[in-house]
Amino acid sequence: MHGAIDLGARQAATRKQQERQAQGGASAGAAGGQYVVDVTDETFNTEVVERSQSVPVLVDFWAEWCGPCKQLGPILEKLAAEAAGKWVLAKVDIDANQQLAAYMQQMGVRGIPFVAAVVGGQLLPFLNGAAPEPQVRQAIDQLFEALRKEGILPEGPEDEAVPAGAEGREPAPSVYDAAEDALQRGDLDGARTAFEGLLAANPRDVQAKQGLSLVELSLRARSLDPGRVVQEAVDKPGDVQAQINAADVEMVSGRIEDAFDRLLRAVRTAAGDDRDAARRHLLLLFEVMPPEDPRVAKARRSLQAALF
């Protein structure tokens, strides 16, 4: 009958999934090890949605009877192992997990294998059907590069080139003092030089990155007339440069969320080069704040929703 569920197939699939879990996930994780996880209706929120706030998750919807799934699955597991934690593979047996199967159908997907990407709690359709390993590898690389360019996957320390011998090196306190003293004196050019020196010694220095971003913001804001900038932003709501200037003024005055919201509105309403300019400037403002600041995390999620 149309819409009927094969309970026998579901029961068999459930038993197989339980066997895999009892074996420590050996079936699903043979190639991917700790970077491959079986996901159920009950664990999807924890293993996929919540996990995606800190690391991208690719979700492989498959079934035991699906021949192409058996071709694609091992490829994904191998690439997950090679990625070594840069992303995680979650495998969903649709016969054993009818809620997730129904959710997949609600997205308009009618066939498997199907792979979705989940980033920051947002699900993006990715692959539909099997493909050779080189094609899958290229598709994954292109996906993450596109997300990174949009600011959804900010560059992490592991992605940055570190000069030989720089790992773990602590900058001399006097160098930090010089940068901070220059800021206190209002010597923005001196502070910029000091922070650039810190980053040359250690590109992973988050504090120096944040300091340099603050200096650059201050330099931009120094040339602006706050009253005129705010009025111009009101008079010209569609002028992206006017909104960028106003956001800088709001940032230096401590109105962080107002600045983020202003540029998010510009991203939603502008198009083409103007939209990209608003997006790129919002990413610059993120760098002024500590990476763990909840306002940055919230604005990143909003940016992701606006772009996709």
Indicate whether 11 pLDDT > 60.
no
Strand, coil or helix: what is 133? Answer: helix
Of the listed ranges 8-22, 100-114, 144-158, 194-208, the least confidently predicted one is 8-22
pLDDT at 19: 56
pLDDT at 279: 92
pLDDT at 204: 77
* Residue for token pair 């590898």: 137
Q: What percent of the chain has pLDDT over 70?
A: 81
pLDDT at 15: 54
Alpha carbons 243 and 259: distance in angstroms, whole number: 9
Contacts by 145-148, CB closer than 8 A, 24 or more apart: 147/56, 147/117, 147/119
CA distances from residue 155 to 49, 78, 106, 257, 299 in whole angstroms, order as listed: 21, 24, 33, 22, 17
Q: What is the mean pLDDT of residues 265-274?
A: 92
Q: Answer yes or no: 38 catalytic.
A: no
| pTM (2 d.p.) | 0.47
Beta partners for 88?
57
Residue range 36-93, pLDDT digits in tens: 999 998 889 888 888 888 889 999 999 999 989 999 999 999 999 988 888 999 999 9
- Helix, strand, coil % in the chain, rounded to nearest 5: 60, 10, 30
Select the more confidently predicted residue: 232 or 84.
232
Residue of 48, 59, 66, 263 marked active site: 66
Contact between 205 and 199 under an 8 Å Cβ cutoff? The reply is yes
pLDDT at 247: 92
Q: What is the mean pLDDT of residues 125-145?
A: 88
Residue of 69, 153, 214, 256 marked active site: 69
Indicate whether 273 pLDDT > 50.
yes
- In the chain, DSSP finds a helix count (H) and a strand count (E) of 14, 5
Q: Answer yes or no: 215 catalytic.
A: no
Instruction: Read off the pLDDT band of 33 (50, 70, 90).
Output: low
